[in-house]
Chains A and B, each alone.
Chain A
Amino acid sequence: MNIIDRRLNPKGKSLANRQRFLRRARQQILKAVREASGERSVTDIANGERISIPMDGLREPTFRRSPQGGVRNHVVPGNKEYVEGDLIPRPSSGQGEGGSQGSPSGEGEDDFRFLLSKDEFLDIFLDDLELPDLIKKKIRQSDSYTLTRAGFSVTGSPANLNLVRTMRNSLTRRIALNRPKPHELAQLEEEIARLEESGADPERLSELRVEFERLIARSKRVPYIDPLDVRYNRFEHVPKPVTQAVMFCLMDVSGSMTEHMKDLAKRFFMLLYLFLTRRYQHVDIVFIRHTHEAKEVDEDTFFYSTETGGTVVSTALTEMKKVINERYPPGDWNIYAAQASDGDNTSSDNAHAAALLENTILPACQYFAYIEVGAEYKDWLGRETDLWRTYKSVTKPGGNLAMRKVRVRSQIFSVFRDLFSKERAGATAGTSP
């Protein structure tokens, strides 16, 4: 008999099976996830999701007998009143039917419910999306370096002394040059002392003294540690890849922005945020709202408090520039920006905003997405807004400014996918050298 404690063994033994299952059910899960994401509120979109997928393609068919029809005999327990020959009316819906032989696992499996973890959910949710231009162009000039080990060197500061290497070299050299060992010397010394004391055999004594002198001299010539032995750990400066990102959310909060529009904007911001957190270790988020003046605010204020005033877009861009200069040097940060607006702007500001965007903001950004949100039922597709025209003048093919219009909630995801689909990322990568 043997008792083995397996509790510390890795669990997740069936992880590989789960991956196979998810891959198998991919299409159904994808659909379910997309549907689920439309329904749920923005704040908990990143939580795990209980999803329910149809069973087609996941059935495990076998040859089995149909639960209906035919002649069957059942033996069941608990007879209370029946005698031979009694007739029993057939139960209507199979409920309470004695000894029903229908396999319960075969039926009622039309919908299959299970839990997706947060990571799995996001993986599928954001599947085949790619960030455009993932590599920071400025990385070569970037000042951020990290030290990595790069072998050994013969020079260095004492703090970097590699003791093991040094002692190994020392030992090799001492053996090779035949340095007298301390215990040999001690032995010799002891014997000399004994002979001196007893006074016998003076010839041997003088021989030993000569030998002793010789060994002492030798061990002085062959030092215990020689500068030759010393090795230092060598470090190299390696430029640090920029794995942090900051996301700027800019939104017009003037009176013309309705709750509906804000909700659309919020959804887009959330998607972008989720997406960025999948790609970068660290994502900061900055909310800037503006009317005729702009202010950096926290999330709640950003989405839920209203302001009155005119609309001057350039103030938001100026504010963003200020924040970048203060806290997010473009060399260290991947900067993403998303701006949502209903397209209004004071006409006198258009030129200023365009210039600011083109000369200052866009060069610092990885990507700048402009989302024009509209009222649900208003058809404004025919008319281009002030801001749309202004921004359009700044876009150039292969550039990092993207513009889309969104009117209803269901469009958000498709617009988002449209902006970040892999093909598009490939295309921009292709055009930019």
Chain B
Amino acid sequence: MTELLFAGADWDFDRLWRTYDAVDLIARKELGLDIYPNQIEVITAEQMLDAYSSIGMPLMYKHWSFGKRFAQDETLYRKGMRGLAYEIVINSSPCISYIMEENSMAMQTLVLAHAAFGHNHFFKNNSLFRQWTDARGILDYLDFAKTYIAQCEERHGHQAVERVLDAAHALMSHGVHRYPRNRGYDLREEQRREKERQAWHEQTYNDLWRTVPKAASTVHGSKELAERKRKLRLPEENILYFLEKNAPKLQPWQREILRIVRNVAQYFYPQKQTKVMNEGCATCVHYHIVNRLHEQGLMNDGALMEILHSHTNVVFQPDFDDPRFGGINPYALGFAMMQDIKRIATEPTEEDRVWFPEIAGNGDPWGTLREAWANYRDESFVLQYLSPALIRKMKLFEVHNDAEAPHMVVTAIHNERGYREVRKMLAKSYDVSQLEPDIQIVDVDLAGDRRLILHHHVANDILLDENDAVLVLRHIANLWGYEVRLIEVDAETDMTLREYEDAVPTVNMG
């Protein structure tokens, strides 16, 4: 008979260590997880509130919006309207997990398995995180950002810095590169090319060309436009990037601040796209680990019950007509899909063999999951792995809602005809490019009036929220230093749906 890791609710560091070791053994041996070194930090509830308000990061530059969030959270928390998270985990190496001192030992076990192993593995292995974030460097970078912005405040005043940060924050969701970029121009390479061209021009110089009449001006104009766009590499959807590089009036420190905000946005971009997977992975891992601990006799029934109680709350999915319904719970969907994948890998039905020939019955559930965790994001994960069995189990159905029509229409349900449609639509709803408006900088006449022109490519007739859009435009105008125009055009027909008044700069940033 093995000895219990702990009994009772109290935790101490000794028990934490022992439990960590037991969890570690299962995670590596049975699940084959590959994790960053862990750093567990015990904090109080107040510190948790602090961490909340700076978007969960241990270091963050100072800004009033974080203070606002803190005031909000604090009010809700003090009123008892909102509980605090049991943990916060940071995608860094070492991977930092905050755990609260108020948690019982059973909860600490859950948190260790969930955050220090589940999330940690996902951060280290998922391709999006690998490609877009630098876990080793993020804390150093945030340290730099914090110090830099504090210095700017000292040098240029709170207000000047606040203006830039406000504007940058408004554009944060349009400050990420969605695709790997072309290699940037190399100065030496450019100069070499330019010299070559010059040499060629000199060699082939012929005075006769001067006498040839010039082409018509219209053709000339559109050529100029094309050339201009090419030089500025327009259209550009990363608005912050464009402003950082090209805004004519910004000071170097202001560009640096834009860059900092852009980098923070980029760092969080993968998290937006992998909510279901990330939480599903962590939930799936903790569920297996705590059950194994219990089976091995390392944990008593009481602790398991406490953990399962919390687990059940987390993965609870209310039906659409339930007053508690607030969209699909990423924990519930992720966990259900991953349990389903395990089932398909070990006990497939005939249907599964048809739908998932590659993985059905391969007998390696954790290998299959690791593969999925590494290579997918929410959208592609749902598209690839949502099985008919699960659609039936969750009774998913699709509703078509056209604001023009008097009724909403049920377009697909959990039946043979509906599976693919439901799956496709659900996947689409996790596509970040579908959720966020597609706004691009399309033109700017640097030699002329320097007006910046943005297009919103409207999908499904859903326009921008006008009040907010006007405010954001003003921010862009302030950064750009000249007028800014936003036009909403239909993505399919190129028809102009709405045109905003030109936003003019209200403050002089420079």
Binding site for B on A (CB under 8 A): 1-7, 9, 11-14, 16-25, 50, 58-80, 82-90, 96, 98-100, 104, 106, 112-115
Contact = CB atoms under 8 A, between A and B. Distances in A.
Given A13-B54, A18-B67, A113-B75, 5 more contacts: A78-B319, A79-B395, A80-B395, A87-B409, A88-B410
A372 to B, nearest CB: 42
Given A79-B397, A84-B410, A114-B75, A17 B66 contact: yes
Given A1-B40, A79-B395, A86 B409 contact: yes
A58 B65 CA distance: 8
A17 to B, nearest CB: 4
Interface string B318-354: 1111110111100000000000000000000000000
Nearest to B317: A77
For the side of the interface on B, what is the size category?
35 or more
A99 B64 CA distance: 32
Nearest to A113: B75
Contacts of A1: 20, 24, 37-40
Most buried by B among A23, A66, A77, A80: A77
Contact of B41 (A4, A72, A98): A4
B412 interface: yes
Given A75-B426, A84-B410, A85-B409, A98 B399 contact: yes
Contacts of B133: none
B197 interface: no
Given A2-B94, A17-B63, A84-B410, A63 B464 contact: yes
A73 B411 contact: yes
Most buried by B among A3, A67, A86: A3
A17 B70 CA distance: 9
A241 to B, nearest CB: 32
B399 A13 contact: no
B448 to A, nearest CB: 26
By Cβ-Cβ distance, the 9 closest A-B pairs, closest first, are: A78-B319, A21-B67, A70-B462, A17-B67, A61-B471, A114-B71, A20-B64, A76-B320, A87-B407
B214 interface: no
Given A18-B67, A73-B425, A2 B40 contact: yes
Nearest to A91: B408
Given A17-B63, A73-B401, A90-B406, A61 B472 contact: yes
Contacts of A5: 13, 41-42
A63 B403 contact: no
Contacts of B321: 78, 80, 96
B465 interface: yes
A13 B50 contact: yes
Interface of B: 13, 16-17, 20, 24, 37-44, 46-47, 49-50, 53-54, 62-68, 70-72, 74-75, 78, 94, 98, 101, 158, 162, 166, 169-174, 317-323, 325-328, 394-403, 406-415, 417-418, 422, 425-426, 428-429, 436-437, 439, 456, 460-469, 471-472, 475
Contact of A61 (B37, B323, B468): B468
Contacts of A7: 42-44, 47, 101
Given A17-B64, A62-B468, A71-B461, A83 B413 contact: yes
A429 B49 CA distance: 46
A113 B78 CA distance: 13
A75 B325 CA distance: 13
24 contacts: A1-B39, A4-B39, A7-B47, A14-B53, A14-B54, A19-B67, A20-B158, A59-B468, A61-B468, A63-B472, A65-B437, A65-B463, A66-B465, A72-B462, A73-B428, A74-B398, A77-B319, A77-B395, A78-B320, A78-B395, A79-B397, A84-B411, A90-B401, A99-B399
B169 A60 contact: yes
B88 to A, nearest CB: 12
B409 A88 contact: yes
B379 to A, nearest CB: 13
B67 A20 contact: yes
B461 to A, nearest CB: 4
Given A4-B41, A7-B47, A84-B410, A74 B399 contact: yes
Nearest to B407: A87
Given A17-B70, A77-B328, A64 B468 contact: yes
A94 to B, nearest CB: 11
A70 B465 CA distance: 12
Contacts of B72: 112, 114
A71 B408 CA distance: 10
A3 to B, nearest CB: 5
A65 B41 contact: no
